[in-house]
Structure 1
């Protein structure tokens, strides 16, 4: 048996064992799809009329003001001058870049010229790459916030996690408050399990590994026992 007692980040454990990590990326991709669809709809309908083209060009010039404001706020958040949370910086910077790229695309389209222009292809490529990077950055921040919220909630509702009676062939030396270790009596040659542990709960299961926590566990600095599911352990679950 190869068991390890580690100080895992609770948020990381919850994210690894939950599909919540994919939700922010999916939401951002859906937003990107709506932006692209809106751009093509505006380019075909509004820019198809002369008065519409003039209105689009004026709107694109005015879009510089909110784009600069978003960029400045994003940089201030990045240097921690203002507090924008874990997702504020990428959303502000990425939103500013996206607004500039879309405004430039619509302005050139309204003028009837192809885009990207020869001298702007490199800038467009870098801008798109930065927008994609900010999207992944924001998705990671949203997932981290979700993991933190789940960890805080779990710390106050540990009774909802299954209680575990753990029998092992080797002593684990768990010096955790509230965890009881007891040597099992020798019942003969067929008895392989020598130690029993009470006062632990199942945090999560990933593949062939279980993550066990003490019943007095806290999300900030609580211990986690990573235990393989093999013949060297025997697990009994019970409520409460």
Structure 2
């Protein structure tokens, strides 16, 4: 969405400039376009500040999008005005202000992306909690007792078929949440969003894992 917005702005800027310059009184049209952006910029900034202080509910991305959008619109209006009027671009002091404005816009973009990622991750986790049947079921054999008193998880001592049997306990009712490197994250099949547990299990010679559907 952000990249699409940047693409639209990148295309609209030269089109607006060229259309205004080709028309009668092109410089005046450009100045009018620039000054007409002032109320919109002010409104977006005010809404962004209110959202930042939680006076209004604008969602997790409201504050950075509103503030960043307002500053981006103001920056583009200023650049358009300079090009339309033919004036020398930006005095030294204004260049500093433009640099700070650009930095804040970039910060708002990162802020919005970070908030989106967090919101998406929480939504995916909550969706998964209601659809645990989509995760692979795990049959876990271990050499040591794990003492998992979790709802839905059953512990069964394995028969010692021969002396020195390596795996002694079997656990059923687990599901694979994720795997990262040599670690597996296992959850009980009756896992809940509020009271669920996660078993972080190293994948080594001390465990034997089998996956199955159901």
Q: Structure 2 length normalisation: TM-score?
A: 0.90
Aligned residues between the structures: 214
Query: What is the root-mean-square deviation in Å for CA atoms of aligned residues?
Result: 2.0
The Cα of 1:44 is off from its aligned counterpart by: 4.2
- In 1, Cα distance between equivalents of 2:43 and 2:92: 28
Matched-pair contact (CA < 8 Å) for 2:48–2:63: yes
Q: Structure 1 length normalisation: TM-score?
A: 0.81
Matched-pair contact (CA < 8 Å) for 2:17–2:30: no
Matched, 1:155 2:120: no
SS in 2 for 1:230: coil
CA gap of 1:197–1:64, structure 2 versus 1, over 3 A, is same
CA gap of 1:106–1:196, structure 2 versus 1, over 3 A, is same
- Alignment correspondent of 2:31: 57
Deviation digits for residues 99-134 of structure 1, max 9, x if unmatched?
111111111111112433322111111111111111
CA gap of 1:112–1:168, structure 2 versus 1, over 3 A, is same
- In 2, Cα distance between equivalents of 1:143 and 1:54: 44
- Alignment correspondent of 1:218: 192
Which of 155, 166, 190 aligns to 2:140? It is: 166
Which of 143, 154, 167 aligns to 1:193? It is: 167
Which structure has the bigger radius of gyration? 2
Matched-pair contact (CA < 8 Å) for 1:47–1:109: no
CA gap of 1:208–1:87, structure 2 versus 1, over 3 A, is same
- In 1, Cα distance between equivalents of 2:95 and 2:56: 34
Matched-pair contact (CA < 8 Å) for 1:168–1:195: yes
CA gap of 1:48–1:188, structure 2 versus 1, over 3 A, is farther
